[in-house]
Amino acid sequence: MDVTHYRTLGRSGLKVSPLTLGAMTFGTDWHYGASPETSKEILAAYLDQGGNMIDTANIYTRGHSEKIIGDYVKESHINRDRLVIATKFFGSMRPGDPNSGGTGRKTIIASLEASLRRLQTDYIDLYWMHAFDPHTPIEETLYTLEKLVQSGKIRYIGVSDTPAWKIAEAQTIAHFRGWPAFIGLQIEYSLLERTVEAELVPMAREMQLGVMPWSPLKQGLLSGKYTRENKDQTLSKRSTNGPVSEKVYDLTEALNNIAANYRVPTSAIALAWVMAREGVTSTIIGARTAEQLQQNLQALSVTLSPQVMAELDALSAPEPVFPYTLLANARHIAQGGATINGQASVLPAILPRKENDHY
């Protein structure tokens, strides 16, 4: 597989690369990331290899990320229509103004117009609701997005960082109103963040959303550079959310060993695991240098064996949550010893032992 093995995103005809170029760190306005010049080198390297999807947001590096992308497209004379440019609304760009952020109609329209100016384009291919806004009815958000699709200013819509129940509600409303539905779901998903497998990933499959994981390397923790030997060193300007646990070191040690066997960077193994998860369409990768981009792209050449997948699954298994702690054994009560769709069951002691053994 390579970056030109395109896939349709969710229930749509939009074709995207299996790895999406994330532009959250284009610009050094957050005191880390890539300079505009380096960002353009990364863009060129990704696009030259056939990658077609670029993901950013209005608030990334305070709007500079969008401008860098817009400048590159204009300066390089690349065919704009070949690209799938995605950006997001939700984040406030005017502190103190309650209507500059969120998912209300006023916010969405203003955010889109500003993003179009920075990106120097007439339309957005995929416009993401960046996160859940409890202050705005979902009908208002969907109706506004429907009008923007009809106007031609956006082509498709997606949703990010939102509870599964709210997304299911939105998809149902869109279906019955005849409005455009979300086609993609962005969620944090990695060997160190698997709680999404409880609700969000199954919901995405049921609602026909293509899953696009972000932070698949967990802010660099899965890149291979964090080991027990250098635990007291500062290895990044970005926060890793506190001290690294022994469980994480066990996982990173295994990743480093697997990477040595496959003769690829450790990051490629962690990315390959995410890419192989059910429901995942395109995984978002970031890079501060062109070299990091090439290391991450090596994940496309990796097919992990069932044994390796099982080892990584065991090392990264999340704690189960209710009701799945209960449902793990509930099938035995429902099936009463029968095998259904390949799932066997045992006869629990609380059930009748034979057909006429009940009141």
Active-site residues, by number, are 60
CA neighbor of 2 nearest in space, from 299, 293, 334, 294: 299
Tokens 């339309």 — which residue?
123
What angle in degrees, to the nearest 10, is found between the helix axes of 290-297 and 266-275? Answer: 50
Query: What DSSP designation does 244 have?
Result: P
The identity of residue 260, as a single letter, is A
3-class DSSP assignment, residue 75: helix
Contact yes or no for 118/90 (Cβ under 8 A)? no
Give the number of other CB atoms < 10 A from CB of residue 191. 23
Sign of CA dihedral 22, 260, 218, 225: negative
Query: Rounded to whole angstroms, how far apart are CA atoms 268 and 222?
Result: 10
DSSP states along 291-353: HHHHHHHGGGG----HHHHHHHHHHHPPPP-TTHHHHHHHHHHHHTT--BTTB-----TTS-S
Query: Rounded to whole angstroms, how far apart are CA atoms 168 and 166?
Result: 5
Radius of gyration of the chain (CA): 22
Sign of CA dihedral 166, 171, 174, 176: negative
3-class DSSP assignment, residue 143: helix
Strands 15-16 and 7-8: antiparallel
Per-residue H/E/C for 168-237: HHHHHHHHHHCCCCEEEEEEECECCECHHHCCHHHHHHHCCCEEEEECCCCCCCCCCCCCHHHCCCCCCC
Query: Rounded to whole angstroms, how far apart are CA atoms 97 and 197?
Result: 36
